Amino acid sequence: MTREGDRSERSDEASGETASREAEAHTPELAGEYDAEAIESHWQRRWVETDTYAYEGDPEQDPNTVYSIDTPPPTVSGSLHMGHLYGQTLQDFAARFQRMVDGDVLFPFGYDDNGIASERLTEDELDIRHQDYERQEFQDLCRDVCQTYEAEFTEKMQGLGTSIDWNRTYKTIEPRVQRISQLSFLDLYEKGREYRKKAPAIWCPECETAISQVEVEDDERGSHFNDIAFGIASEGTNREEFVISTTRPELIPACVAVFVHPEDDDNQDLIGETARVPIFGHEVPIIEDERVDMEKGSGVVMCCTFGDQNDIEWYQAHDLPLRVAIDETATMTDLAGEYEGLSTEEARKAIVEDLDEEGALRDRWEITHAVGVHERCETPVEYRVSKQWYVEILDHKEEYLDAGREMDWYPEKMFTRYKHWIEGLEWDWLISRQRDSGIPFPVWYCEECDHPIMADKADLPVDPLSDEPPVEACPECGHAEFEAEEDVFDTWATSSLTPLINAGWDWDGEGASEASDLGAESGERQRPANGGDGGFTMEHPELYPFDLRPQGHDIISFWLFHTVIKCYEHTGEVPFDATLINGHVLDENREKMSKSRGNVVAPDEVIAEYPVDAIRFWAASAAVGDDFPYQEQDLRAGEKLLRKLWNASKLVDSLAPADPAEPDELAPIDRWLLAELDDAIADLTAHFEAHEYAKARDRLRTFFWNTFCDDYLEIAKEREGDPSTAYALRTAHRTFLELWAPFLPHVTEELWQAVYAESETQDAGDDALESASIHVRDWPAPEGYEADLDAGETTMDVISALRRYKSENQLPLNSELDAVTVYGAIDGFEDVVRTVMHVEDLTVSDDDPDVTTELSDISLDYSTLGPRYGEKVGEIDDAIDDEAFELDGDTLVVAGEALEPDLFEVSHERTYSGAGEMIETESAIVVVE
RNA sequence: GGGCUCGUGGUCUAGCUGGUUAUGACGUGGCCUUUACAAGGCCGAGGUCGGUGGUUCGAAUCCGCCCGAGCCCA
C-alpha cells in the first residue's frame, strides 16, 4: 500500500525521474526461473503508465493505414466473467498483430452504464427501489454505484494485459455520448425513420416501463390450466354455454371477444353468437379466426386486452374495444370490480375461488409452461397500450441484409444468424423507456395539439425536464405551453452508436456547409450535411468505417444488428469491414456456466493461479466462433510453454552474443533453420490475417518447440562460437519473441527488454518504452532464405533415428557412436549429424545398403487408380490380397489389367545382412555399427 | 416448434472442396540426469471418427433420418 501511495505522488513529478525509479523496482534480467506473477503486473503497469498502446492517429491520415476496432462496451451489471476475459483476449490478438503489422491501432474501451441493467444493479446493491427516489437523486445513486464497479472492472481488465488504449475510454451516460445519442435521435427523426405511436407494447410491471422484444426471454414456470364455462347470451345456438381453457383467469374482466377456428366443426354453431363472461357478466362477440390453436384446450379461446401477442393481433385485426384490467404495476383496475387493488396473483386466486363457487370452474390442473419474462428482473411481462417512440426498420430489411453481406464474417457461417434474424423481424424497434436513469428524449410536446418540438442540435445534450424548448410557440397551433417528454432512450439506442462515439461524430452548425462541400469533393470520407444549415462531422474520419467489430455470437441479433443499421442510416455506410464472432466459455463438462448451476469460474481465481500469458495461450486454442470448455490442463500447457521459452532463451543467451554480425555465408544448417523460419512467418501471417488464432498458435508452438528447441538448439550447442550459428540463433530468437508477442505479451516483453531493447534504444533514454516495447515493433517478414529443406528434413529424421537408437539401447544421448552409415540425401548436413550425435566415423552412401529384399506389399495409389478404373478397383484389390499378380518390369499385371508404374508402389521387407543395426526412417536408412 | 452450430483415443482438439496408415496436446505405462528446461527428452499403449441408412470402386469427410449438447428465435 505504501508503495502504491508513493508512486501516485511521484507521478506528478518529472516523468524522467519517476521512470528511473520505477525501473529500479524491476530490472528485466534473464536469469533463474520465470516469475510470471511479478513480471506480468510490472509490465501491465508500465504499458499503462507509458501509453504504449495509445492511438496517435491523425484525422488527415489514409484510413488504410489505421486499424480501428469497435468494441462493444460491457454492461455495468456485475463483475468480470470468463466471457469478458476470452472475448477481450481474442480482440487483443487482432489488435497486437495489427499494431505490429501496420502501426496505428485504435483499441478503445467503454462502459455501458446507461439503462435498466445499471439501474437494477443500483437497486440490488443499495437495496432500494427507484420509485422511492426523485429522478435526479436516483440517477446520482446509479452514477456512484457504476463508478465503483467500473473502477474495479478497469483494474481487472488491466490485469488481463490487453493492449487497450486507456486514454480513450467512455461511458455511455457521459455528456459527450448523450449528445451523440440525442443527435442520432434527431437525425433519424428528420430522415423520417422514427415515429411516436399509441400501441400495445411489452411492459414490465416490476420495472414499470415498456421494453422491446429482445429483452423478453422465456422461462419455464409452474401454473394451472383452468376450464371456465362462459354463458351464451344470444339465441342462435341450442347450447347454453361453452368452455374455454386459460392460465390467466384474472384476465376475464379484460375479455373483449371469444374466437373459434373457421374449420372447427365442433364449435361452428358458436360463431356469430354472443358470449357472457362469468362473474363480470359483460357480453362479448364470438368471432372466427385462423389463429386459434384447435389442439389446445377446447378450441374456443378468449381474447383479452392483453394476455399475449395473439390478443394484440386480434385486437388490431378485428378492431376490438380496449378493456384494461391491469395497470402499470400489475394491480387490478376498477374494471375488475371487487377485485380492484389486488395484484394479478391475488386476483387470480380470488377469481378462481369465485368461479368455483359460481359453478363456472369446470376443471383445473397443474402445468408448466413457458412464460415471457423480463430478462433483467425475471418478472412476467404484460402488454399495455401506451404512447411510445419507434424506429422504423421493417421497410429496410433488404438494405440491412445487404449491409450484412458487405461485411467479412469470421467465421463466415455466423452471417446466417444475422440473416435469419432480419428475415424474421416483425416489429419496429421500440426505443422509449419509462425509466429514471438514461438519456432523455430531446423532445417537448405542445400541450394543446401534442405536436412534438425537437431540441436544437446545437443545444444538445438537453434534458427537457429542466431545459426549455427552443420555440416560444407551437408551430402548428401557436400554443405556448409545452410538456416535457419524460421517457429515456432504450440502452441499445445508445450502445448501438459506438462506432460514431469512437470516431467523434458530431454536428457542426456553423462550419458545416463547408464540411459538406468538402464531402462532395473528397468522396466518402466526409459525412454529407443533413439538409439546410449545418452538418455532421467526425473528429477522426480515418477510423470510420471500422476495420473490426468483435462480439459474442449471442448478441449478433441485437447489438451487432442495431449498430449496423443505426450507423448505416446515419452515414450511408456499413460501419464495419469485418466482424469477429467469439464463442462462449463453457465449464469443464462443456456446460454453460451459470450462477444457478454453481459452475461459474471467476477470472480472479484463474489469474491468481496461472500466468495471464498461459490463460491467453488457452484462449487462442479455440477456433473463432466455437464454444469451448475451460479446462485447467490447458492452462498448464501454457505454463509449460512459458517455461520452455524462458529456458530456451537462457540457452540462446549463453551460446551467442546478443547482436552478432551477419556472416558472409551461412552454414547449411543455419540457412535451413532460417528458411524454415521464413515458411513459419508466412504461414503465421496468413493465419493471423484470417483470425485463425488456433492454427497460428499450433503452428508456432510446433515449430518453436520441436524444430527450434528439440532439433536446432541441440545442434547449436555443438557449434558454439560459430559466427553463422550465432547469427542464426539470434535472428531466430528475436523473431520468435516477435511472433509470440501477440499471444504472450508479458514474457516476450520481459525477454525483449532483458536481452535486446537496451542495445537498440541506448540513446532513447530510460522511459522510452513506448518506442522500445516489443509490441510496437514491426511484424517479421520472410527474409527469403533458400535452403535444401528436404535434405534438412532428412537430416532431422536421421538424428531422431539415432536418438531413438540410443534411447532404446539405454545409452546416454551424448554417448559416442563408432560408425554410422546413412543411406539418404543429407548433403551439407553431414557435420551436423556427426557432432550432435557424437559419431566417430560417419559415412554417407548413395548405394543401397547391404540388404536382402523381399517383396512384401503393393500399395495402390487410389487417387489416380480410382477415377481411371472405377469399379474394377475392388477386383484389383482382391487379386493383390490373393497375391495373384505379376511384376513385368515396371508394369503390374493384375486382374487382367496392366497398371502403369505411377499407379502403385512396391514395398520391400528389408533384412539387413551387414554388420551393425539398421534403422529405417521415412526418408533414409541408417546403419549403426 | 423453427433456425444455426457442434458430436473424432480417458480429456481437449486437427483433418471434413471423399483416396484406404486420423493430427497434436494433456493424461497414462516404460526407459534416459544429455553444457537451458526431469514441470525435460525418447519410446509405447489407447480411436468401429455419436447412431443408422444411402451415394460412390472408395466416406471421419457428401446426402437422408435418428440420438445427444449448445446458442438464438417462437
The tens digit of pLDDT for each residue in A99-135 reads 999 889 999 999 988 877 888 888 888 999 888 888 8
Report if CB A710 to strand B is under 7 Å. Answer: yes
Query: In terms of pTM, does the model score above 0.80?
Result: yes
C-alpha–C-alpha distance, residues A270 and A268, integer Å: 5
pLDDT at A228: 92
Report if CB A619 to strand B is under 7 Å. Answer: no
Amino acid at A816: E
SS3 A153: helix
C-alpha–C-alpha distance, residues A634 and A643, integer Å: 15
Mean pLDDT, rounded, for A291-307: 82
Q: Which of residues 194-213 of A touch strand B (CB under 7 A)?
A: 213
Mean pLDDT, rounded, for A130-156: 88
Give A247-267 pLDDT, tens digit per residue. Answer: 899 999 999 999 988 888 888
pLDDT at A399: 92
* Residue A853 pLDDT grade (very low, low, confident, very high; cuts 50, 70, 90): low
Q: Which of residues 678-697 of A touch strand B (CB under 7 A)?
A: 694-695
Protein CB footprint (7 Å) on chain B nucleotides: 3-6, 11-15, 19-21, 24-27, 30-37, 39-43, 56-58, 69-74
pLDDT at A889: 78
pLDDT at A25: 62
* Residue A758 pLDDT grade (very low, low, confident, very high; cuts 50, 70, 90): low
Residue A683 has pLDDT above 70, yes or no: yes
Report if CB A313 to strand B is under 7 Å. Answer: no
- Residue ranges with strand state E in A605-724: 628-629
C-alpha–C-alpha distance, residues A95 and A548, integer Å: 10
Reduced 3-state DSSP string for A591-617 = CECCCCCCCCCCHHHHHHHCCHHHHHH
ipTM over 0.95: no
Residue A6 has pLDDT above 80, yes or no: no
pLDDT at A313: 81
| Residue A511 CA, nucleotide B23 C1', distance (Å) | 62
* Residue A734 and residue A714 in contact, taking contact as beta carbons nearer than 8 Å: no
pLDDT at A851: 67
* Residue A759 pLDDT grade (very low, low, confident, very high; cuts 50, 70, 90): low
The mean pLDDT of chain A is 85
* A897-899 β-sheet, strand order: A885-888, A891-894, A897-899
Most confident stretch, A220-234, A510-524, A699-713, A748-762 = A699-713
* Residue A583 and residue A626 in contact, taking contact as beta carbons nearer than 8 Å: yes
* Residue A8 and residue A22 in contact, taking contact as beta carbons nearer than 8 Å: no
Q: Shortest CA–C1' contact from A803: which nucleotide?
A: B42
Report if CB A871 to strand B is under 7 Å. Answer: yes
For residue A670, what are the β-bridge partners? none
Options 3.90.740.10, 3.40.50.620, 3.40.50.2300, 3.40.640.10; CATH for A224-368 is: 3.90.740.10
C-alpha–C-alpha distance, residues A278 and A55, integer Å: 70
Mean pLDDT, rounded, for A64-78: 86
* Residue A253 and residue A286 in contact, taking contact as beta carbons nearer than 8 Å: no
Mean pLDDT, rounded, for A740-762: 85
Which residue is closest, via its CA, to the C1' of B58?
A: A866
User: Among residues of chain A, what percentage have pLDDT more than 90?
Assistant: 41
Convert A228-252 to b/e letters by CB count within 10 Å (16 or more is b).
Answer: bbbbbeeeebeeeebbbbbebbbbb
Mean pLDDT, rounded, for A463-490: 93
Instruction: Kindly give the pairing relationship between strand A488-489 and strand A432-433.
Output: antiparallel
* Residue A175 pLDDT grade (very low, low, confident, very high; cuts 50, 70, 90): very high
Mean pLDDT, rounded, for A164-177: 92
Mean pLDDT, rounded, for A401-416: 88
Convert A852-872 to b/e letters by CB count within 10 Å (16 or more is b).
Answer: eeeeeebebeeeebeeebeee
Residue A296 has pLDDT above 90, yes or no: no
Mean pLDDT, rounded, for A396-422: 88
Q: Shortest CA–C1' contact from A640: which nucleotide?
A: B39
Higher pLDDT, A154 or A371: A154
Report if CB A654 to strand B is under 7 Å. Answer: yes
Report if CB A650 to strand B is under 7 Å. Answer: yes
Of A227, A237, A220, A109, which is closest to residue A172 (Cα–Cα)? A109
Give A772-825 pLDDT, tens digit per residue. Answer: 899 999 999 999 999 988 888 888 888 888 888 887 777 777 788 888 888 888
| DSSP conformation class of A848 | P
C-alpha–C-alpha distance, residues A666 and A674, integer Å: 10
Measured from the Cβ of residue A561, the count of other Cβ atoms closer than 10 Å reads: 24
| Residues forming CATH 1.10.730.10 domain(s) in chain A | 651-794
* Residue A290 and residue A362 in contact, taking contact as beta carbons nearer than 8 Å: no
Of A776, A751, A800, A760, which is closest to residue A652 (Cα–Cα)? A751
Superfamily of domain A651-794: Isoleucyl-tRNA Synthetase; Domain 1 (1.10.730.10)
Dihedral pair phi/psi, residue A194, rounded to 5°? -135, 145
Give A599-619 pLDDT, tens digit per residue. Answer: 788 888 889 989 999 999 999
Residue A311 has pLDDT above 90, yes or no: no
Mean pLDDT, rounded, for A699-723: 92
pLDDT at A852: 66
For residue A885, what are the β-bridge partners? A894
pLDDT at A391: 93
What is each CA distance from A807 to A264, A642, A798, A836, A838, in whole angstroms? 83, 27, 14, 15, 14
| Residues forming CATH 3.90.740.10 domain(s) in chain A | 224-368
pLDDT at A909: 66
| Residue A583 CA, nucleotide B71 C1', distance (Å) | 9
Report if CB A643 to strand B is under 7 Å. Answer: yes
| CB burial of residue A62 (10 Å; 0-12, 13-18, 19+) | exposed
